[in-house]
Chains A and B, each alone.
Chain A
Amino acid sequence: QKEVEQDPGPLSVPEGAIVSLNCTYSNSAFQYFMWYRQYSRKGPELLMYTYSSGNKEDGRFTAQVDKSSKYISLFIRDSQPSDSATYLCAVYPSGTYKYIFGTGTRLKVLA
């Protein structure tokens, strides 16, 4: 079983829709959770990170962690064509210096 699992998509939504992107992870000891956005032929960029459980909001983006079900979510409100990208979730096991990435979900927001 992979340590972080993510549906590859692609996911196509109309402009203005609410998008839900999800990952599951296997190790209940993970405490730090991240979402990266990667535009085509570019390097990933950090969107948000959260520590432990709960929600974190930044503009149109909300990251949510449910440690009881080992589920990480990213919600995008009022999605825009400029949100079209691949979204990668990642976990950071404390004390390891290493990040573990999901395979990424391709999102397409249609104008």
Chain B
Amino acid sequence: NAGVTQTPKFQVLKTGQSMTLQCAQDMNHEYMSWYRQDPGMGLRLIHYSVGAGITDQGEVPNGYNVSRSTTEDFPLRLLSAAPSQTSVYFCASRGADSYEQYFGPGTRLTVT
């Protein structure tokens, strides 16, 4: 099992550019989430999904889109990157009958 994988590991964008952060899990988990982690702010929930075709907003959703067409994949789209989106992004998944979230290795994003 690869667990939760994220690509890319690092990315530098210019303001206004768009991109997609990829997340995949091979554990057949129903729930998947995207977090951003900033110094002094902890992990903040951006969007989450409770199953294929079902997504909802978290604490900080503005500027981000998600979709969940399969159980395995949960991409995060930045529509028009802003310097305030410079952060480390983590994807996580868990089964519906468990409280244990598995996190991916993260994507470090810099927006200039």
The interface stretch among A37-45, A59-67, A68-76 is: A37-45
Stretch at the interface among B11-19, B43-51, B62-70, B73-81: B43-51
Measured in the bound complex, the distance between the Cα atoms of B102 and A53 in whole Å is 24
Interfacial chain B residues near A102, Cβ < 8 Å: 42
Are A44 and B90 interface neighbours, CB within 8 A?
yes
A88 contacts B45, C-beta separation under 8 Å: no
B48 touches A98 (CB 8 A): yes
A98 to B99 Cα, complex, angstroms:
10
- A32 contacts partner chain B, Cβ-Cβ < 8 Å: yes
Q: Which residues of B68-112 have CB atoms within 8 Å of chain A's CB atoms?
A: 90, 92, 99-106
> Is B53 engaged at the interface, CB distance under 8 Å to the other chain?
no
Per a CB cutoff under 8 Å, which of A41, A42, A99 touches B45?
A99
Q: How many residues of A contact B (CB 8 A)?
A: 20
B100 touches A46 (CB 8 A): yes
Nearest to A103 among chain B residues (CB) is B42
Given contacts A43-B104, A44-B43, A103-B41, contact A97 B31 (CB under 8 A): yes
Q: Are B106's CB and A43's CB within 8 A?
A: yes
Nearest-CB distance from A46 to chain B (Å)? Answer: 5
Residues of B within 8 A of A46 (CB): 100-102
Q: Is the CB of A97 within 8 A of B43?
A: no
Contact A8 B40 (CB under 8 A): yes
Contact between A32 and B99, CB atoms less than 8 A apart? yes
In the complex, A64 Cα to B42 Cα: how many Å? 21
Measured between beta carbons, the chain B residues less than 8 angstroms from A6 are: 42
Q: Using a CB–CB distance below 8 Å, which chain B residues touch chain A?
A: 4, 31, 33, 40-45, 48, 50, 56, 58, 90, 92, 99-106
